[in-house]
Amino acid sequence: MKKLIIFGNQKMAEMAHFYFTHDSDYKIEAFICDKEYIKEDNFLSLPVVPFEEVEKLYPPKDYYMFIAVGYGKLNSSRKQKYEEAKSKGYELVSYLNSKASHYGDLKIGDNCFILENQVFQSNVKIGNNVVLWSGNHFGHDVEIGDHTWLSSHIVVSGNVKIGESCFIGVNATFRDHITIGNECIIGAGALILNNTKDKSVYIETPTKPYPMDSEKFVKFANL
């Protein structure tokens, strides 16, 4: 099996450990973290070593790396570590869940984390350092920019281009033939019908509570 080390010691790293262990041909050897954030010497029964010293203990010629960092600071934290790891000479690997649906022409960059039940139609291109949580739909000819994070159950229609370092919330919907700028935040449930500028924020209005409690509503609605 190929030898893998994971940057991170939080929930994202735990998720990466789970999926790489159960659904890949990589064997995880250790976790890496910035020295100042190491509180324990072990995580999930594996050693935790300082990122500052990692190439001495786990040299790039012998080990692959995966950066398991969330979407904090609009993905810039993950982007920074991605670039630092590459500057150390590591080859960064991607995870594509075996239950994702595609036809063999899917193009994926490095350090991507793509979970189960995605639907990829033809000619979809995923950039580098992209996270796709579970259950999304990508129409034909979709392009996702580097360092972007998509949550779950998002519909991206055909010929949509999503820029770099975006965050897309659950259940967002994008109509076809539009372009989303870089560093955009698209909130949960948003419906995007037109192009967006860089650094745009779209937040859907939450459903308002009904002015009646459930006990009264059951009687009112004869449920």
Kindly report the CATH number that applies to the domain delimited by 95-197.
Answer: 2.160.10.10
Contact present, 131 and 152 (Cβ < 8 Å): no
Q: How far is CA 139 from CA 79, 102, 148, 160, 161, in A?
A: 26, 11, 17, 8, 11
* Residue range 28-44, pLDDT digits in tens: 999 999 999 999 999 99
Architecture of domain 2-87: 3-Layer(aba) Sandwich (3.40)
**What is the pLDDT confidence band of residue 15, given thresholds at 50, 70 and 90?**
very high
Contact present, 111 and 94 (Cβ < 8 Å): yes
pLDDT of residue 86: 99
The model's pTM is: 0.95
Q: Is 14 helix (H, G, I), strand (E, B) or coil?
A: helix
* Residue range 73-95, pLDDT digits in tens: 999 999 999 999 999 999 999 99
What is the location of CATH 3.40.50.720 in the chain?
A: 2-87
Q: Which long-range contacts (CB under 8 A, 24 or more apart) does 22-26 make?
A: 23/95, 23/97, 23/98, 24/95, 25/1, 26/1, 26/2, 26/64, 26/93
pLDDT of residue 55: 97
pLDDT of residue 50: 98
What is the location of CATH 2.160.10.10 in the chain?
A: 95-197
pLDDT of residue 132: 99
